[in-house]
Amino acid sequence: MTVIALTSAKGSPGVTTTALALAWAWPQVAPGRRVLVVDADMAGGDLAPGYLRGAVSSTDGVLGLAAARPADLGAGLWEHLIAVDESATRLLLTGISDPAQARSLAGVWLALAEVFADPEGELSRVDVLVDLGRVGTAHEAAALRARADLVLLVLRSSLRASAAARATGRRLVEERTGFPGGTDSLGCVVVGEGQPYGAGEIAAAVGLPVRARMAWDPASAAVLSDGDAASWRFARSALMRSANAGATELLAHATTRASAVPTVPAPVVTANHRAGATP
């Protein structure tokens, strides 16, 4: 299992869209494995009202999981996931709609982090992409960020975005110091490289290496962010070409790190069904 956490510093650079695009590309990069997107944005998630267009029941998602309180969280988790393709290869765990709901979920995130850390557990053949929203949000899912094999800061390529991300990059470096593999587990995902700055300039400004680049493609992004209908061009769009390249790079980096880093656990901070649009 590979766990990748995506987060942001400020604004709306496209964390959720990036997570979904990578998930859609993942089966081509990692054949035979499932991929799970976890909406852990404690400011209020976008998966349910956006990509799924509200087609979510009260038993779905992290709130349904928290209410059910299964004795075996790894086994019980499956009942609260949403499959968005026929083969149930791509799975979603929807999040909260109201930031006031975040306070009650700290124990759930901690338990999920432990499930994701079990190499022999129920999800051992599932890779996980966590949408953490903005760093520093009240009651953020810090346990999932601590568990992640890679923590990626998503940002646009503007001067304003780089300036906002600089302090967050420093915070993440301080946070990961002492983890297995150290700061090699950090990086950036740049959305719209060259508008106007390139990857090298952004890496220098933020203090983190660029691990992936996502194309600026608003029409294709709307399929994922808002559940717009996908045309036959979607799979070959600039967004999805960049997602395939990004997923390849991220999985390769995570695999290289896993083979090089001793298997010491990182410190942890204190029924599938169809729904939504299927591109």
Could you tell me the residue ranges of all domains in the chain?
A: 3-260
pLDDT in tens, 151-187: 999 999 999 999 999 999 999 999 998 877 778 999 9
Q: Which residues contact 236 (CB under 8 A, 6 or more apart)?
A: none
Cβ-in-10-Å burial (0-12, 13-18, 19+) of 19 comes to buried
Using the predicted structure, report yes or no on whether residue 54 has a pLDDT greater than 60: yes
Using a cut of 0.85, tell me whether the model's pTM lies above it: yes
pLDDT at 93: 97
Residue whose token pair is 């975040």 = 102
Using the predicted structure, report yes or no on whether residue 71 has a pLDDT greater than 80: yes
Question: What does DSSP assign to residue 51?
Answer: I
pLDDT at 179: 78
| CATH class, 3-260 region | alpha beta
Q: What distance in Å separates the CA atoms of residue 172 and residue 66, rounded to the nearest whole number?
A: 28
Angle between helix 218-225 and helix 238-260 axes, rounded to 10 deg: 70
Are the C-beta atoms of 16 and 41 separated by less than 8 Å? Answer: yes
The average pLDDT across 56-85 equals 90
pLDDT at 255: 86
